[in-house]
Amino acid sequence: MFKTVFLLVIILTAVIFTPVVFGQDLKKATWLERASVIYDQKFSESVTSSVVFETLNNNEIQFPNPLLKEISSYEEVRFITFTNMGECVMGVKDDEQCIVISFDLNLLKGDGGIKIIQANGKAIGDELISDLNSVLGLNTEFHSIWIESEGSKSVMSEFTGGGGVASAVYTMPKQETSVLFENFSEFLISQDIVNSGGFYDIAKQLANMPDSIITLAVISQQQNPMFMLKVSHEYKDTPIDISQIKPLEAFNVEELERSKYFQDLFVPLNSVFQVIIIPENPSKIDLVKSSIIQKLGSVEDVSEKGWFFSSTSYDKIDARFLFGSSKFVSSDELTMNIGSWDTQNGDKFPIESIQVAQDDIGQYAILSVIVVAAIGAVMFYLKGYKRNR
pLDDT tens track for 159-183: 555 568 999 999 999 999 999 999 9
Q: Is 13:34 a contact under the CB 8 Å cutoff? A: no
Same domain, 51 and 181: yes
Q: Residue 305: its pLDDT value, please? A: 94
pLDDT band at 355 (very low <50, low <70, confident <90, very high): very high
In a domain, 355, yes or no: no
Q: Residue 50: its pLDDT value, please? A: 97
Instruction: Report whether pLDDT(92) > 70.
Output: yes
Greater model confidence, 385 or 42: 42
State residue 75 phi and psi, 5-degree precision.
-65, -15
- Quote the radius of gyration of the chain (alpha carbons, Å): 25
Same domain, 135 and 196: yes
Residue 189's closest CA among 10, 51, 84?
51
Instruction: Report whether pLDDT(387) > 70.
Output: no
Q: Is 90:154 a contact under the CB 8 Å cutoff? A: no
Based on the structure, what is the number of domains in the chain? 2
Same domain, 314 and 370: no
Same domain, 160 and 308: yes
What average pLDDT does the chain have?
85
Domain that holds residue 377: 364-388
In a domain, 356, yes or no: no
Same domain, 280 and 370: no
Q: Residue 156: its pLDDT value, please? A: 53
What are the residues whose beta carbons fall under 8 Å from the beta carbon of 197, sequence distance 6 or more? 257, 259, 260
Mean per-residue pLDDT, 176-197: 96
Q: Residue 26: its pLDDT value, please? A: 61
pLDDT band at 15 (very low <50, low <70, confident <90, very high): very low
SS3 (DSSP) at 171: strand
Mean per-residue pLDDT, 57-70: 96
Same domain, 336 and 302: yes
State how far the alpha carbon of 118 is from the alpha carbons of 89, 109, 141, in Å: 16, 9, 16
Same domain, 24 and 73: yes
Q: Residue 160: its pLDDT value, please? A: 53
Same domain, 141 and 88: yes
* Range picked from 17-21, 248-252, 261-265 for highest mean pLDDT: 248-252
Same domain, 243 and 331: yes
Q: Residue 385: its pLDDT value, please? A: 38
Mean per-residue pLDDT, 94-113: 93
In a domain, 126, yes or no: yes
Instruction: Report whether pLDDT(308) > 90.
Output: yes
Q: Count the Cβ atoms, other than its own, within 10 Å of residue 245.
A: 21
pLDDT band at 99 (very low <50, low <70, confident <90, very high): very high
In a domain, 201, yes or no: yes
Query: The whole model's pTM is what?
Result: 0.86
Greater model confidence, 299 or 30: 30
Counting residues of the chain whose pLDDT is more than 90, the rounded percentage is 70
Mean per-residue pLDDT, 312-316: 96
Buried b (16+ CB within 10 A) or exposed e, 257-294: bbbebbeeeebbbbbbbbbbbbbeebbbbbebbbebbe
Indicate the helix (H) or strand (E) that contains 167: strand 165-173
In a domain, 136, yes or no: yes
In a domain, 73, yes or no: yes
Same domain, 171 and 275: yes
pLDDT band at 8 (very low <50, low <70, confident <90, very high): very low
Indicate the helix (H) or strand (E) that contains 193: helix 191-194
State how far the alpha carbon of 38 is from the alpha carbons of 248, 256, 312, 384, in Å: 12, 17, 15, 62
Same domain, 56 and 118: yes
In a domain, 354, yes or no: no
Q: Residue 265: its pLDDT value, please? A: 87
Same domain, 257 and 329: yes
Q: Residue 163: its pLDDT value, please? A: 66
Q: Say if residue 359 is exposed, middle or buried (CB neighbours under 10 Å; 0-12, 13-18, 19+).
A: middle
In a domain, 358, yes or no: no
Q: Count the Cβ atoms, other than its own, within 10 Å of residue 328.
A: 12
Buried b (16+ CB within 10 A) or exposed e, 130-160: eebbeebebebeebbbbbbeeebeebbbebb
pLDDT band at 299 (very low <50, low <70, confident <90, very high): confident
